[in-house]
């Protein structure tokens, strides 16, 4: 049976992409295979990680599409279609996708968010801002969530969640690292395998 073909969309360092590559090499994503990495930033280190793993990397920028959102999304969709992509994983992808895009791939786009949704999520909550908000609020527990992507930022159905305790003296940077290590890098490969297996068998 053919494996689910996965594309990972990135914008930065690619630590979550690396977690997926490592999980794949350990045999933890038997139902899927990462066959494409798309970055909306030409200098994203994630592209180097993809190259080192022998995965084709493509740069598609909004600027390169004349600053037009529709043309930008069309270029991404054309690349996905050319590679017969079944599943899209947003791994630190800092571009907002329109409802037109998300409706094209229902329950085929995954995102990892560094909090326990519905806390500290939605528009404006990304990167260190999420962890700063958790610390400002004084919560004892945060974590990460992998969810399907729809037209609402962080609004899609939840697939997996994992809690991470906040410790005395945490800064947003320290907390970000702990959430990655204890939750994001564990959950994302698991969720990708769950969805890949489902798609492979449909």
Query: Taking the CB of residue 72, how many other CB atoms lie within 10 A of it?
Result: 22
Which pair of tokens denotes residue 151? 């037209």
**Active-site annotation holds for 113:** yes
Q: Taking Cα atoms as reference points, which of 146, 147, 138, 149 lies closest to residue 175?
A: 138
| DSSP conformation letters of 2-14 | PPEEEEEEESS--
**Residue in 5, 49, 108, 113 annotated catalytic:** 113
Q: How deeply is 191 buried, as exposed, middle or buried, from its count of CB atoms within 10 A (0-12, 13-18, 19+)?
A: buried
- Would you please indicate which residues are annotated as catalytic (active-site) residues? 113
């Amino acid at each position: 049976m053919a494996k689910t073909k996965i594309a990972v969309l990135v914008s930065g360092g690619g630590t979550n992409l690396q977690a997926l590559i490592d999980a794949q090499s350990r045999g933890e994503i038997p139902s899927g295979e990462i066959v494409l990495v798309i970055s909306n930033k030409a200098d994203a280190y994630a592209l180097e990680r993809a190259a080192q793993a022998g995965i084709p990397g493509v740069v598609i920028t909004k600027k390169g599409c004349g600053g037009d959102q529709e043309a930008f999304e069309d270029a991404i969709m054309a690349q996905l279609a050319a590679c017969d992509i079944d599943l899209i994983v947003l791994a630190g992808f800092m571009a907002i996708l329109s409802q037109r895009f998300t409706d094209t791939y229902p329950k085929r786009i995954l995102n990892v968010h560094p909090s326990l949704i519905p806390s500290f999520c939605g528009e404006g909550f990304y990167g260190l801002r999420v962890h700063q908000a958790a610390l400002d609020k004084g919560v004892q527990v945060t974590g990460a969530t992998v969810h399907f992507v729809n037209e609402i930022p962080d609004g899609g159905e939840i697939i997996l969640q994992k809690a991470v305790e906040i410790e005395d003296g945490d800064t947003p940077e320290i907390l970000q690292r702990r959430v990655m290590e204890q939750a994001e890098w564990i959950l994302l490969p698991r969720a990708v395998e769950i969805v890949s297996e489902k798609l492979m068998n449909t």
